[in-house]
Amino acid sequence: MSLDGANILITGGTGSFGKRLTHRILNAHNPSRVTVLSRDELKQFHMRQQFPAEEYPKLRMVLGDVRDRDRLFQVLDGVDIVVHAAALKQIPAAEANPLEVIKTNVLGAANLIDAATFHKVNKLIALSTDKAANPINLYGASKLCSDKLFVAANGTGDSATRFSVVRYGNVVGSRGSVIPYFLAQRPTGRLTITDPRMTRFLITLDRGVDFVLQSLDSMLGGEIFVPKIPSVKVTQLAKIIAPECEQQIIGIRPGEKLHETMVPEDDARVTIEFDEYFVIQPSHAYWDSKKFLADHFGKPCPEEFHYSSDNNSWWLTNKEITSLTEMVQSEITDGELPMASEPRFIVGG
């Protein structure tokens, strides 16, 4: 997708995804401006070191929080495209502080919709998570609410703004994710695993960026885009990363699932399959499913279909896991990712 001449805003832009997306847009396109909105001044300081002003004059970094409705109305003035990546996403913290997560993930989404609609932003695409499909934890439930808000926003009268959602699984190497967590545990000789049956979807940051840009280009408004990505068994991941280590089973924790789902069975009747992704269509009056099928050449999923990490046809090989691990180790060495010694991730959470 060409973003030449566009004024682009990335919420939560100092996170792993936001930094990779910013790099891609500034180096592969010619936008008029890229604005990174985040609430952490230290992360902005570190990001500005990676994107010095003299080399990236089109990058603007502003402090703000999606909870702050007035700030969003200021920042979105003149914006053409929004990529919404801001969220509170640590599952244990969400369980302990549910109202704080709701303020950011749900009310923040509502604020963003209002500001984007008021300023007639062209397109807004929001990042979701596999945890939002049949959620069992507060984080997943908050993102499901957020998804519903963005989908429904397309049906609000004469609004010029189109809203869509991208949903995918665990991002390889993102802060607090499983591969850095296992790498941090490896020197102890013991890796903690909550359940030996557990499976997860995995996607690289670059694939995530590619898919968001692809979805941004093709969106009509109201779709939930779901990429086809590989699954992995958590025990297999542990064995390849640290074959010398003992695997200690510590029991499934609150908010965890054995397997993750990205297209629930209840959504199968409105889901369209393409070669590389699925589209969950909105069940709203504004959506013409027949026209969408005719224009995009997809095929409807059977009614009992569901897309889960345990029924996936695409599984990572040992060689692919080794390659991903080496990539994460390289990014840790280069300072792209922290090597946390304390566990911040529910494995498989």
Provide block-wise average pLDDT over 10 residues at a time, the chain (349 residues): 91 95 97 97 96 97 98 98 96 93 98 97 97 96 98 85 96 82 94 95 96 96 97 96 95 88 96 96 85 83 95 96 92 61 38
Q: Which DSSP string do the residues of 138-169 spell out, in sequence order?
A: HHHHHHHHHHHHHHHGGGSTT---EEEEE---
Question: Is the residue at 318 inside a domain?
Answer: no
Nearest to 182 by CA among 190, 171, 194: 190
Domain region containing 54: 7-169+203-228+261-310
Give the CA dihedral 24, 140, 94, 178, nearest 10 degrees: -60
Question: Is the residue at 256 inside a domain?
Answer: no
Report the predicted TM-score, pTM, of the whole model to 2 decimal places.
0.93
Question: Is the residue at 332 inside a domain?
Answer: no
Question: Is the residue at 316 inside a domain?
Answer: no
The pLDDT, as a whole number, for residue 338 is: 52
Q: What digits encode the pLDDT tens for the residues 94-121?
A: 999 999 999 999 999 999 999 999 999 9
Rounded Cα distance between 239 and 237, Å, is 6
46: Cβ contacts below 8 Å, ≥ 6 apart: 14
Question: Is the residue at 239 inside a domain?
Answer: no
Find the largest Cα–Cα distance for the chain: 61
- Position of tokens 């604005």? 35
Quick one: how many helices (H) and strands (E) in the chain? 12, 17
Question: Is the residue at 305 inside a domain?
Answer: yes
Question: Is the residue at 147 inside a domain?
Answer: yes
For the chain, how far is it from start to end, CA to CA, in angstroms? 33
Question: Is the residue at 244 inside a domain?
Answer: no
The pLDDT, as a whole number, for residue 134 is: 95
79: Cβ contacts below 8 Å, ≥ 6 apart: 7, 8, 9, 35, 116, 119, 121
The pLDDT, as a whole number, for residue 145 is: 98
Sign for the pseudo-dihedral over CA of 335, 341, 342, 346: positive
Q: What digits encode the pLDDT tens for the residues 134-161?
A: 999 999 999 999 999 999 999 876 779 9
Nearest to 286 by CA among 217, 218, 221: 221
Q: Which residues pair with 299 in a beta bridge?
A: 273
122: Cβ contacts below 8 Å, ≥ 6 apart: 80, 81, 160, 161, 162
Q: Residue 62 maps to which CATH number?
A: 3.40.50.720
- The domain total for the chain is 1
Q: Measured at the alpha carbon of residue 208, what is the angle toward residues 173 and 332, in degrees to the nearest 5?
A: 20
The pLDDT, as a whole number, for residue 159 is: 78
Rounded Cα distance between 321 and 190, Å, is 19
Backbone φ, ψ for residue 306 (5° rounding): -150, 150
The residues annotated with a catalytic role in the active site are 131
- Position of tokens 């959504």? 267
The bridge status of strand 231-233 relative to strand 170-171 is unpaired
Rounded Cα distance between 169 and 201, Å, is 5
Query: Could you give the count of Cα atoms lying within 13 Å of 308 in the half-sphere of its Cβ?
Result: 18
The pLDDT, as a whole number, for residue 143 is: 98
Rounded Cα distance between 280 and 268, Å, is 8
Nearest to 232 by CA among 208, 259, 193, 206: 259
DSSP H helical ranges for 29-172: 41-50, 69-75, 91-96, 98-102, 108-118, 138-152
